[in-house]
Structure 1
Amino acid sequence: MRKALENLHGRPVYPVGVNYWPRHTAVEMWTRWDPEGIAQDLREMRALGLNTVRFFLRTADFADSEGNLKAEALERLDAFLSLCREHGLYVLPSFFVGHMSGMNFPIPWEKGRDFYTDPEVLARSRRFVSGIVSRYRDEQAILGWILSNEITNHTGKRETHVLFGWMRDLYKAIRAQDPRRPIGPGDGADDLKGNSPGYPEGALGGIEDLRDAMDFVSLHHYHFDPDPFVLSHAPAATVRLCDIGLPVLVEEFGMSTGLWSEDAQADYVRIVLFSTWAAGAAGALAWCWSDFPTFDLPPYTHHPFELFFGITRADGSRKPAAEEMRRFARLMEEVGATRWSPSPPQAAILVPSAFYVNYPFRGVDRPRLLKALLRAYSLARGAGFDVFFVREPALPPEGVRLLLVPYGDLLAPTWRDLKAWVEAGGVLWAGFGGAVSNLEELFGVRSGRKLGGFTPPQGRTGKLRLVEGFGDLEAGEEIVLPASDAPPLPVSPTKARVLAVDEDENPALTVHPVGRGKAFFCPRSLEWSLGHESSPRRLSPVHRLYRALRAEAGIRPAFETRHPELSLNLLENAKGEKLLVAINHSDIPLEEDVCSQKVLHRVVDIESGDELEIQGSKFRLPLGPWGVRVLKIEPRSGASNPMGETR
């Protein structure tokens, strides 16, 4: 089931909205109070069908150096909440706003002391949040509480367990006043994305311990990639990566039209909204409501691109992105967004524990590893199958047939456990990332590395040539690989078969039957190499290897297309009804056959009401550039397509 936020009455809510500063006063909302302008903004939001506003209690505007609340600010907050209630908008207040749009603002009681651990600072922080929550705990408009806005930008990056201790302290303070509403950290989910210093081994039982300090994950998504295919898959991939068993709210996402065109912004908003909903997100809030005319107001004086993130312009007119928000909000209302859950994937990606944990005398390039993980997700979607993430030392749950280890830098016991998983019938794909504790037992190869180092020639692209058929790849076919900045592990097969060789005729892909399963080994991580590319490409041909792996694992998606840039996302509700979210991850129009495992009765476009022409188990689907269609699927009762044919 989709993990959802709930309002005070226990009703699930899918927030579709914006992060908010008023159009004319921006970050000076509370000091340059403009109730008429704010009311106009809220009317326009409701006209677009938006239902949620995240706003910011810039700390110095609301409290003194002792953490005591200011009467004038509270009166203005009373008025703001009344306006939101009047216009039918939920709100998510953010407490500690010491950072905003590229500038740090004072937290009055910090005064150079440790914000996270100093007892006096913590006591005043508790006083601040407790005062707000106790005053507004019965306010119907408040959907939940958010601790901060990217607090580590204000304080500097701190180890995860230090931040966790602070979050848990403030979580308890809020919970003492309000036992009902969900609480989020507002930290951007940096710790879950590997964008933090991590934590020492043993300081936390696991990254999942963060669940004790939050009720939902606050994802801020600003991952821009030179590869447009990865860029368009990254929002959904990051939602899956941040899933620790709690709702994942896409609390911020956006694109500045000071740097991109308005049409590009609209395309991006469309992709983020639909793909994250299809991936299981709990809602999405765009950054931000409006462009600002405040050229002479910091932080915009020195961060001018921050002036242009709005879905509306400074003159109040709508950008194309606003129409995308309107379209999505209307559709979510029509179908009941929280009723639909993604169909469970049969494949998973293993995240190395070093992505989070600081082991002694061992380092990892976490931003680069994130790129490799996102590429693995994108390649899987390009190969026509869905995938989620599991974190080392966990292994995939029952029902998962294929496990992808794009960068095999794992703990010694994990390799042992993976062998047992493969023996039980699993299919494992691993790219070299470090020493494998049971290399020959699991992969059927030995290291062939000789004395002396190996540095790949800079800029040299590689190739992988099949020496025997693999999936729909035929012997003799070649796949061009990106230039690598990391040396591969030369291997000598002992029990494994060589499926492919590199440009120097060395083994480049091997397979080893282990028990009832198979273990595939790539002596260099293709996904890691792809993450090193700085020039854009339409789509890496490595997805063809992933498609072959899918066939080896016996994964047969309920709906399939042969085009790698068309993703098909199946959602189901409690009644067994089905929606198919079809997304074109390219800037060219597509018209492709979609094949179902069952003979179809009807396929209807939810928005237009048009019924698509069906031929047995197939239908033809046109999509514009970066286009999205949501289809209601009605299989013919009792009928199936035994061949699963897609051609």
Structure 2
Amino acid sequence: MAFGLDAAGYFTQDGKRIWPVGANYWPGSAGVEMWARFDAVREEIARDLDLVKSLGLNTVRFFLRWQDFEPVAGKYDERTFANLRTVLGMFRERGLYAHPSLFVGFMSGGLFWPKWKNANLYSPGVMRERSVAFTKRAMGVISEFKDCVIAVDQGNELCCLAESSAALPEDVVGWCGDINAAIRSVWADAIIISGNEQNQVINDTGWRFGQQPGCDLYSMHGYPVPGWHNVMFDGMTDPFCQSLLPFYTKVARAYGPVMLQEFGTIVTFGAKQQRAYLEKMLPKALESGANGFLWWCMRDITAPVHPYMSHGFEGTLGLVDAAGKVKPGLEVFIEFCRSLATRPVSAVKGDAVGAVGVYLPAQYYQRNVPGAQNNPQQYSRWLIVANHLSEMLGHEVRVVRGDQALPADLETLIVPSILLSVPEAEAIAAWVKAGGKLLWHGVDPVNYGAAYIELLGALAVDYRQPKAVTWDRFTFDAFPRNMRVEIEPRGCTVVGRDEDGLPLLLTNTLGRGKVVAALPLVDEVIARAAPNFEVGRGWYEKVFALLKG
């Protein structure tokens, strides 16, 4: 039985589309010590896989802890590799899909490496060499089970490792490529993914979309915990919270297929809150293009071992309780998974004609990028705001990549306070002239060259004190590069002026299209007010109306 990805980016088995649905897994009595305590948990693993099958789920992601397999550099524990073969055999016997993850590294708040690790994982040298060798050794076993291994995962949340951010971005890219080459040297047509999370969107850890060579698809992980995101929300019942993981999924899908490989509600005792979250989030993630759904995690962990002793809530995240019953509120996930078998698969909503585009700049990641102006820590906040408010107003939203030609069917584009390069501004101007409608916030004050002047229908004539200004009921105290520009109209219509009489909001007709531009960092001001989006909604209602008018 051969696994693949179809032209639309969804999993197939022998040419038929399938949905990987299930859970991430450690046995409850052992947790991360699964391989060290294998003889004691062998039967427990078998029972848990039987439970997975009985719930109508089909996929389990599990983890190889490197130190258990290679306790001494270059010396493998053959018994542990035999145990890996035993576990994979359990999947085969039950007709389940196995999704092994090769490098744990970061797990449940803890770090797990062999004691002999003495250098950055990604830097060329001994650690990369050992990584490649271990990958080939593990794949020697995994490749025996091509009929039940749906995909090979490089590792768990490698983007969360401090050494990812410490390494040169090109070394992270190089490690990724080397590991995938090692996988394919053993199993040429394996489906490969790297199990990363929302930091691919909101930070630059070296794990970047478009720069994971050899991966067939992207992963997305995420949880409804405000402090783990960069715009605030108020719990699982907050519609903004329910929009975040689907939006991260949407960004990943702009670069390729994407699997919702790890998600959950973190706290699993609030049935009402969990139902509210899952009933909204899961369909949104599906509409954003997710091709699989794996819960974190299958079982509560009762093992009194690190990291559960210092991160106690990590032991309570199970889909099922001690009796094997799905916890109240989490049955929504089971029902959603079962519905996928009969749910008609339509185009991803953001691909629909008429969907509003939010602009992802050609230069998004900033580390070691000459002349970098944008950064994901800041710009992702504004993307998130633009997506949420557009959806609040009933628009479907797509992610538009600035490193590609603008889609021919794109009608409306939002540039939420990005610093547009001259080539990008020129491309957008050509698109507007052909009939596009552009909403542009936070116009870059140092880029008022020919392309900007054409788009805006205005000249920059002075730089004024960057202070809080008000128009209508909207107050703005943030400006790009901390520079408040005074403009002089050259064909545009000034819609709003601040209390000093300076233009703040304008419209400009260009060719067959239209531009609505606001000079302050509108989306930053809205993001600061989150989770209260009422004023932001009022602003977006006004500017969308101007685009239509």
* Aligned partner of 2:281 among 249, 261, 272: 272
SS state of the match for residue 311, structure 1? coil
User: Matches of 2:338 and 2:249 in 1, distance apart?
Assistant: 22
**Residue 50, structure 1, aligned to residue 63, structure 2:** no
Aligned CA distance change for structure 1 residues 481 and 229 (closer, same or farther; 3 Å): farther
- After TM superposition, the structure 1 stretch with the greater mean CA deviation from structure 2, 82-91 or 50-59, is 82-91
User: Matches of 2:137 and 2:344 in 1, distance apart?
Assistant: 35
Q: Deviations over 1:183-222 (max 9, x none)?
A: 011233634x1412569xxxxxx95243x32101011223
Q: Deviations over 1:305-354 (max 9, x none)?
A: 212222223454421343112101110012365x7644534331111234
User: Matches of 2:520 and 2:136 in 1, distance apart?
Assistant: 53
User: Matches of 2:366 and 2:89 in 1, distance apart?
Assistant: 45
**How far is 1:290 from its partner?**
2.2
**Residue 99, structure 1, aligned to residue 109, structure 2:** no
Aligned CA distance change for structure 1 residues 441 and 548 (closer, same or farther; 3 Å): same
User: Matches of 1:329 and 1:48 in 2, distance apart?
Assistant: 10
SS state of the match for residue 410, structure 1? coil
Q: Unaligned 5+ residue runs, structure 2?
A: 1-6
CA contact (8 A) 1:383 1:547 kept: no
**How far is 1:43 from its partner?**
2.3
Aligned CA distance change for structure 1 residues 88 and 502 (closer, same or farther; 3 Å): farther
What one-letter code is carried by the residue in structure 2 that aligns with 1:251?
Answer: Q
**How far is 1:370 from its partner?**
0.8
**How far is 1:405 from its partner?**
0.2
Q: Deviations over 1:432-472 (max 9, x none)?
A: 15233333221012335445x4233xxxxx7643xxxxxxx
Match of 1:25 in 2: 30
CA contact (8 A) 1:63 1:69 kept: yes
Aligned CA distance change for structure 1 residues 303 and 79 (closer, same or farther; 3 Å): same
CA contact (8 A) 1:432 1:524 kept: yes
SS state of the match for residue 199, structure 2? coil
CA contact (8 A) 2:456 2:508 kept: yes
User: Matches of 1:220 and 1:480 in 2, distance apart?
Assistant: 35
What one-letter code is carried by the residue in structure 1 that aligns with 2:297?
Answer: C
Aligned CA distance change for structure 1 residues 305 and 40 (closer, same or farther; 3 Å): same
What one-letter code is carried by the residue in structure 2 that aligns with 1:222?
Answer: Y
Give the 5 Å matches for 1:106-185.
Answer: 106-110=113-117, 112-139=118-145, 140-154=147-161, 155-157=163-165, 158-185=167-194
**How far is 1:130 from its partner?**
1.2
**How far is 1:485 from its partner?**
7.6
Aligned CA distance change for structure 1 residues 527 and 39 (closer, same or farther; 3 Å): same
CA contact (8 A) 2:365 2:374 kept: no
**Residue 351, structure 1, aligned to residue 374, structure 2:** no
Aligned CA distance change for structure 1 residues 20 and 493 (closer, same or farther; 3 Å): same
SS state of the match for residue 416, structure 1? helix
Aligned CA distance change for structure 1 residues 98 and 134 (closer, same or farther; 3 Å): same
Aligned CA distance change for structure 1 residues 548 and 65 (closer, same or farther; 3 Å): farther
User: Matches of 2:341 and 2:429 in 1, distance apart?
Assistant: 47
CA contact (8 A) 2:457 2:508 kept: yes
**Residue 509, structure 1, aligned to residue 516, structure 2:** no
CA contact (8 A) 2:443 2:517 kept: no
What one-letter code is carried by the residue in structure 2 that aligns with 1:132?
Answer: A
* Aligned partner of 2:299 among 290, 298, 312: 290
TM-score when scaled to structure 2?
0.87
Q: Unaligned 5+ residue runs, structure 1?
A: 200-205, 457-461, 466-478, 553-647
Higher helix share: 2
User: Matches of 2:12 and 2:546 in 1, distance apart?
Assistant: 40
- After TM superposition, the structure 1 stretch with the greater mean CA deviation from structure 2, 345-354 or 480-489, is 480-489
What one-letter code is carried by the residue in structure 2 that aligns with 1:213?
Answer: G
Aligned CA distance change for structure 1 residues 146 and 442 (closer, same or farther; 3 Å): same
User: Matches of 1:313 and 1:537 in 2, distance apart?
Assistant: 37
Match of 1:444 in 2: 457
Give the 5 Å matches for 1:385-464.
Answer: 385-434=395-444, 435-436=446-447, 437-438=449-450, 439-450=452-463, 453-456=465-468, 464=471
**Residue 6, structure 1, aligned to residue 8, structure 2:** no
SS state of the match for residue 384, structure 1? coil
What one-letter code is carried by the residue in structure 2 that aligns with 1:540?
Answer: R
Q: Deviations over 1:564-597 (max 9, x none)?
A: xxxxxxxxxxxxxxxxxxxxxxxxxxxxxxxxxx
What one-letter code is carried by the residue in structure 2 that aligns with 1:545?
Answer: K
CA contact (8 A) 1:481 1:526 kept: no
CA contact (8 A) 1:368 1:531 kept: no
SS state of the match for residue 447, structure 1? strand
**Residue 541, structure 1, aligned to residue 538, structure 2:** yes
Match of 1:261 in 2: 270
**How far is 1:72 from its partner?**
2.0
* Aligned partner of 1:186 among 195, 198, 218: 195
Q: Deviations over 1:291-312 (max 9, x none)?
A: 2223x32111111221222222
Match of 1:576 in 2: none
User: Matches of 2:544 and 2:393 in 1, distance apart?
Assistant: 5
User: Matches of 2:414 and 2:101 in 1, distance apart?
Assistant: 38
CA contact (8 A) 2:240 2:531 kept: no
**Residue 531, structure 1, aligned to residue 527, structure 2:** yes
Aligned CA distance change for structure 1 residues 257 and 300 (closer, same or farther; 3 Å): same
User: Matches of 1:417 and 1:49 in 2, distance apart?
Assistant: 49
Aligned CA distance change for structure 1 residues 46 and 301 (closer, same or farther; 3 Å): same
Aligned residues: 520
SS state of the match for residue 383, structure 2? helix
Aligned CA distance change for structure 1 residues 263 and 161 (closer, same or farther; 3 Å): farther
Q: Deviations over 1:500-553 (max 9, x none)?
A: 34466543321111111111111113222212225544673234135426635x
Q: Deviations over 1:72-105 (max 9, x none)?
A: 2123222222222333321110001122111111
Match of 1:595 in 2: none
TM-score when scaled to structure 1?
0.74
Aligned CA distance change for structure 1 residues 536 and 425 (closer, same or farther; 3 Å): closer
Aligned CA distance change for structure 1 residues 46 and 345 (closer, same or farther; 3 Å): farther
SS state of the match for residue 137, structure 1? helix
Match of 1:299 in 2: 307
What one-letter code is carried by the residue in structure 2 that aligns with 1:491?
Answer: I
What one-letter code is carried by the residue in structure 2 that aligns with 1:320?
Answer: P
* Aligned partner of 1:196 among 204, 217, 241: 204
CA contact (8 A) 1:16 1:52 kept: yes
**How far is 1:401 from its partner?**
1.0
